[in-house]
Structure 1
Amino acid sequence: MLHSRGYVISGVKRLDGKQLGKHVIRLAKASDASPHDKSARSKSTSAIPVVTAQHVEHIRPMNDWKLNFEDTTQSLACKSSYELALASAIFQVCSIQPLVKNAKDMYSYATKVLGHGIPDAVVRASFFKHFCGGESSGDLKPVVQKLGVHGIGAILDYAAEADVAHTPEARPGMSASAEAMEQQFEGNARIIMDAIDAASEVSASGGKEGFTAVKLTGMGRPEMLSRISSILTWLRQTFARLDDDGNGLLTQEEFIKGLSKAGSNLSHEELCSIYQSIDANKDSMVDVTDWMDSLWPSDPKFSLIFTSSFKHLQGPQFRSLDDEECYQYQTMLDRLEKLAAYAELKGVKLLVDAEQSYMQPAIDHLALVLMRRHNHENPVIFNTYQCYLVDSFDRVKLDVQRAERYGFVFAAKVVRGAYMHQERKLAAEQGYPDPIHPNIEATHKNFDAVVDFLISRKGQMDPETFKAETEEETERRKKLAIMIASHNEESILKAAEKMNQMEISPAQSGIYFGQLQGMCDHVSFALGKKHFNVYKYLPYGPVKEVMPYLLRRLEENSDILAGVKKQKKLIMTELSRRLGWRKHASC
C-alpha cells in the first residue's frame, strides 16, 4: 500500500522518502567526523543499518498501489451466486435499447392496469435491489456494512420527492401554487436532513466518512436558477467585452472607456469610484473573479448591475430580478445554508449535483457561497463539474483561484456528464453554440486533464510554491478534496498513478473515487482492497417514490449500461468458476 513514496532497500528495513533522506544525511555527517572521533561515528550510525553502494542500487519505488481489475475472486467475493446471476440478467435487459427507452411508459401502463402492488414487487426484487440501497435508513445499514467490510463507503441520496398533501395559505403577493412549491422545497430540504442523519449514522458504524447528495432544483425553482444563470453569463460576457487586450485583467482605463463608449453619462470620478469598489485587492487590476464576486453578492438586491450605473451595458434583453425573484433566491440560499450547517455539524460531506448548463452558473455560484462559509477547516461542500462541457476546465481553475484568494478549502466532484442529448437538442433549438465537447475522446481527455490538475495542485512539491505560501495556505491546499466519479478504468488508473507520483497516500488523501451502486463492482472492490477512498452512490427511498428517479437514471445511463461488456464477462467468469461448489460466496 502507498503511504507517501516508499522504498525497498536490499538487506535493509523499508524506509520512506523522508526517512531515507535523514538516513543519508546522518551517514554524511558520520563520514565527515574525524577518523579519530569514534564516538561521533558510532553515535551517528548506531540506530540505523549501514547502506552500501550495492544497497543503493536496489532502491526502487513501492508499487503496492497497483490495481487489478481482473481478479474476480477478490472483486466479486462479496456477491452471492444469486446476486451475480441477477446482475447478469439486469445488464442483459439494459442492453436492449428499445426496452430502456420505453421503460417509463411500460411502468406507467403496468401500474394503471395492475396498481402498484405487483409492478413494484417485481421492481423491488430486481432493478431496485441491484441499483438502490433500500426503502429506509434502516434498510441501508446491512448494505453499508457489507460494503464497509471491503473498504467501500456510501454516498446516500434519498431519491424520493417530497409530497405536498395540501395547498397552504399563500403568502401575501404570492399565488397559492407558488406557495405550494415553496412548501415542497421545504419538504425536500427535510428529506435531505434525514439523509444527512442517515449518512452520519452509517459513517459512525462503518468507519468511512459520510456523504450525501443534494440537487438544487429540489431546493428552488429551476426558472429562478435559469434567470440568475443568464445574468451571471451576461456579467462574464460583459467583462470580456470591456477587456480590450484580452489578457483577463480589466484596468481602470478600460472600464471607464467601455462604459463611456456604451453611453454612460456618469462623471470620471463616479466611474473611478465604481471601479475601486470592484477592485477587491486594490491593485488597479480587476480580474474576472473580482468582477463576478463584487457585482453578484450573496444578496442580489444590492448588486450594482441592477443600478443605473450599468444600464448602458445591459442591452434590450437584460431584465433585473424583481422583488419576488429576489425573495425566492434568498429563501433558497437560506434553505441551503441550513443544510450545509447541519452537514458540517454532523461531520457529513454534501455533494452539490450538477444539472443542465443553462442553470449551472447559478448552481456554481450558490455552491461557492456555501464553500466560503463552511469549508474553512475541512471540505464540507463539494461542487460538481461536468467535463463534457467545453468550459469546465476553465471553471475549475477559476474556482481553485477563488478558494486560494478567499481562504477556503476547495472541494470538487468531477464527472463526465449526464445531460448530453438534452444539452445538444436545446442548443440546436435555441441557436447557441453546442456546449458539449465534439466527441467522447475529447471528453475523456478533458476529464483526465481536470483530475490531473487538481491532484497536482493538491500534491504540489515545487520549492518555489512552498516559499510563496504561508503555512496556513499550504495546509489548506493539502486539504483540497476531489471526488473522482467515474466508471472508466483508464481514468481511474491515471488518477492512481498521479497520486503515486505526487506521493499522496490513498487512505488519508482527501481523494475519493465513486461509482454507482450495481455498476463497476470489479473497480470499486479493487480500489477498496488497496485502501483507496472509494464510495458507492446509494439511492434509497420507497419504491413507488424512487421509481421516477430510477427510470430517469436508467435513461441517462443507457449508453453506459448497454456497454458493460467487461462487467458481464467478469460476472460469467466468476459464476463459471463457482460451478460445482454449490455454495455462495460469503462476505
Structure 2
Amino acid sequence: MQAERAKTSPATSQPLSFDNTVTAFSHKSDKELRFSHFIFKMMGRPTLVKILSNFTLFALKLYLPIKGLIKATVFKQFFGGENIENCTKVITQLANEGIATVLNYSVEGNQREKDFENATVEMLRIIDFAKTHSHIPNTCIKLTGIGRFELLKKAAANEKLSDEEKTEYDNFSHRFETICKASAESHLPLLVDAEESWIQDTLDRITEEMMSKYNHERAIVYNTLQMYRHDRLDYFKALIEKAKNQGFRLGVKLVRGAYLEKENERAEKMGRPSPINPTKEATDALYNRALELAIDNIDIVEICAGTHNEKSNRLLAELMHQRSIPNNHPGIIFAQLYGMSDHISFTLAKAGYMVCKYLPYGPVKDTIPYLIRRAEENTSIAGQMGKELRLIREEMKRRKDDRN
C-alpha cells in the first residue's frame, strides 16, 4: 500500500503542515478519539504518572489483579496485543493508510539464559511473520533482551571475563548473529536499539561487526545513535568513514534518547561528567546536524529518523527536496511510536514519504517495564502531551460542529 502510494510521490517542495486533524485522526472513531484524549490527559501529569508507575510495580509484587486495568488503558493505546497474531488488525489498519509496521517484542528485564533463548525464538518468529507481510519491511531488537545487562556492562568496561562469562558472551553473540543472518536471508533490515551509555560500547562493537558482515547491497543491520549524547555526531562521522573504507552500507537509526534522567543521575553519583548534552536545544541541534550528515552521504548511508519532533521531520523532508531525493526513497524512513504523533505519521504518509510505526507487543505483565519507561519518557518531552491533547480536542470539536 505504501509503495503504491509512493510511486506518485517525487521530490516535492510543498510545505508540510502537521496541524490537519482530519488527516491525523481520520482512522479513529469518536470513541477511539475520546479514549486517546483520556490517556494523553493522564500522561500530561508527570506526578500522576510517577504515582501510578510506582503503584503498578507494587501491585505486581503483591500479585494484585491489575492486568485487566492496564490492558484496557495504556496497553490498549500503545500496544498491538500480547502476541504477534494480535497485531494483525493494527498492521492492516496502518497499511490502509500507507504506513508500515515495525513489530517490537517489548519484554524487558530478562536475566536467565532460558529467557534469552525464548526471546531469540520470538525474534525469529517475527522475521518469519514479516516475510509474508509486505507491510512489515523491517524489524527491531533490544540486545539486553538476548543478553544479560551486567555481562554487557563488564564487556564494555573491558573487564576480564571468567570462563563461564566468556561462554555466556559467546552464547549472546551467537544469538545475535543468528538473528542477523535470518534478517539478511529474508532481506529484512534489523534496527538495533541503543541503550545505556555504560553498555553501549559493547553494543556498538558487535553491531558494527554484523554491519560489515551483512550490509553489502543494502543496509540490513542498523545501529541506533542517541543524539542527546554529545559524542554521537563524531561517532556517526567515524562510522561513515569505516563504511567507506570497508565497503559496506551503513544503516543508522537516529533518535534523541530514552535514558536522560538515568544517565545524568549515574554520572552525578559517580562524580563523572554526564555524557548527555547540557540542554535540549543542544540535542536538537546535534540531531538535525546528523540528519544533514546522513543526507550528505546518502550514497552510502540508509537512515531511519525516529523522532516525534515536528521541526526535525520537516527538516528531513526539506533536505530531501533540496537534493531532489524522491519522497519514497527506500533508504530514508520516518518513524514514530504507535499510539503517538499520528499528526506527524499520517501527514508524512499522505505526502508519499516512507513512514513506519513501532508497534510493541508482548504479555501485559512482562511489558510493564517498557510501558513505565515510555510513560515517564513521554511526560518529560516538553510540549508533547500538550500538542497531542490540543489536536485531539480540535478534531473532537470539528466533528461535533459538523454534526450540528
**TM-score, normalising length from structure 2?**
0.92
Amino acid at match of 2:340: M
CA distance in 2 between counterparts of 1:539 and 1:199 reads 15
CA distance in 2 between counterparts of 1:386 and 1:114 reads 36
Q: Does the CA contact (< 8 Å) of 2:226 and 2:257 recur in 1?
A: yes
Q: CA RMSD in A?
A: 2.2
Alignment length, in residue pairs? 398
CA distance in 2 between counterparts of 1:127 and 1:503 reads 41
CA distance in 1 between counterparts of 2:60 and 2:262 reads 27
After TM superposition, the structure 1 = structure 2 runs for residues 548-563 of structure 1, keeping only pairs within 5 Å, are 548-560=369-381, 563=384
Residue 153 in structure 1 maps to residue 100 in structure 2: yes
Q: 1:72 maps to which residue?
A: 21
Residue 183 in structure 1 maps to residue 133 in structure 2: no
Give 1:581 shift.
Answer: 5.5
Q: Of residues 204, 212, 223 in structure 2, which corresponds to 1:364? A: 204
How high is the sequence identity, in percent, across the aligned residues?
35
Q: 1:438 maps to which residue?
A: 278
CA distance in 2 between counterparts of 1:393 and 1:120 reads 42
CA distance in 1 between counterparts of 2:116 and 2:303 reads 28
Unaligned runs of 5+ in 2: 1-5
Q: Of residues 47, 50, 53 in structure 2, which corresponds to 1:104? A: 53
Q: 1:216 maps to which residue?
A: 143
Give 1:72 shift.
Answer: 1.1
Larger radius of gyration between Structure 1 and Structure 2: 1
CA distance in 1 between counterparts of 2:373 and 2:274 reads 23
> Cα 1:581–1:543, aligned 2, differ >3 Å: closer, same or farther?
farther
Moved more, 411-420 or 96-105: 96-105
Q: Does the CA contact (< 8 Å) of 1:515 and 1:524 recur in 2?
A: yes
Amino acid at match of 2:120: A
Give 1:199 shift.
Answer: 3.0
After TM superposition, the structure 1 = structure 2 runs for residues 186-585 of structure 1, keeping only pairs within 5 Å, are 186-201=117-132, 203-204=133-134, 206=135, 209-231=136-158, 319-458=159-298, 477-478=299-300, 480-560=301-381, 563-579=384-400
Q: Does the CA contact (< 8 Å) of 1:195 and 1:212 recur in 2?
A: yes
Q: Deviations over 1:108-131 (max 9, x none)?
A: 444567843xx2222222211111
Q: Deviations over 1:544-575 (max 9, x none)?
A: 22223212221233212874212211111111
> Cα 1:112–1:337, aligned 2, differ >3 Å: closer, same or farther?
closer
CA distance in 2 between counterparts of 1:148 and 1:3 reads 17
3-state SS of paired residue (1:383) = strand
Q: Does the CA contact (< 8 Å) of 1:162 and 1:184 recur in 2?
A: no
Amino acid at match of 1:100: V
Give 1:432 shift.
Answer: 1.8
3-state SS of paired residue (1:358) = helix
3-state SS of paired residue (2:254) = strand
3-state SS of paired residue (2:139) = strand
Q: 2:3 maps to which residue?
A: none
Give 1:95 shift.
Answer: 1.4
3-state SS of paired residue (1:453) = helix
CA distance in 2 between counterparts of 1:374 and 1:382 reads 10
> Cα 1:548–1:3, aligned 2, differ >3 Å: closer, same or farther?
closer
Residue 91 in structure 1 maps to residue 40 in structure 2: yes
Q: Deviations over 1:196-254 (max 9, x none)?
A: 233333x33x3xx52222111122222222222223xxxxxxxxxxxxxxxxxxxxxxx
CA distance in 1 between counterparts of 2:115 and 2:86 reads 25
Q: Deviations over 1:498-539 (max 9, x none)?
A: 011111112134100111111110000000001111111110
Q: Deviations over 1:167-186 (max 9, x none)?
A: xxxxxxxxxxxxx8222211
Q: Does the CA contact (< 8 Å) of 1:455 and 1:498 recur in 2?
A: yes
Amino acid at match of 1:121: G
Q: Does the CA contact (< 8 Å) of 2:378 and 2:385 recur in 1?
A: no
3-state SS of paired residue (1:154) = strand
Residue 131 in structure 1 maps to residue 78 in structure 2: yes
CA distance in 2 between counterparts of 1:86 and 1:421 reads 29
Q: Deviations over 1:457-515 (max 9, x none)?
A: 11xxxxxxxxxxxxxxxxxx35x210100001011111110011111112134100111
CA distance in 2 between counterparts of 1:456 and 1:211 reads 24
Give 1:582 shift.
Answer: 6.0
> Cα 1:328–1:108, aligned 2, differ >3 Å: closer, same or farther?
closer
3-state SS of paired residue (2:138) = strand
> Cα 1:550–1:562, aligned 2, differ >3 Å: closer, same or farther?
farther
Q: 2:13 maps to which residue?
A: 63
3-state SS of paired residue (1:497) = helix
> Cα 1:582–1:543, aligned 2, differ >3 Å: closer, same or farther?
farther
Give 1:420 shift.
Answer: 0.9
CA distance in 1 between counterparts of 2:348 and 2:69 reads 32
Q: Does the CA contact (< 8 Å) of 2:99 and 2:354 recur in 1?
A: yes
Amino acid at match of 1:566: K
Q: Does the CA contact (< 8 Å) of 1:96 and 1:562 recur in 2?
A: no
Amino acid at match of 1:158: Y
> Cα 1:388–1:111, aligned 2, differ >3 Å: closer, same or farther?
closer
Higher relative contact order (CA 8 A, sep 6+): 2
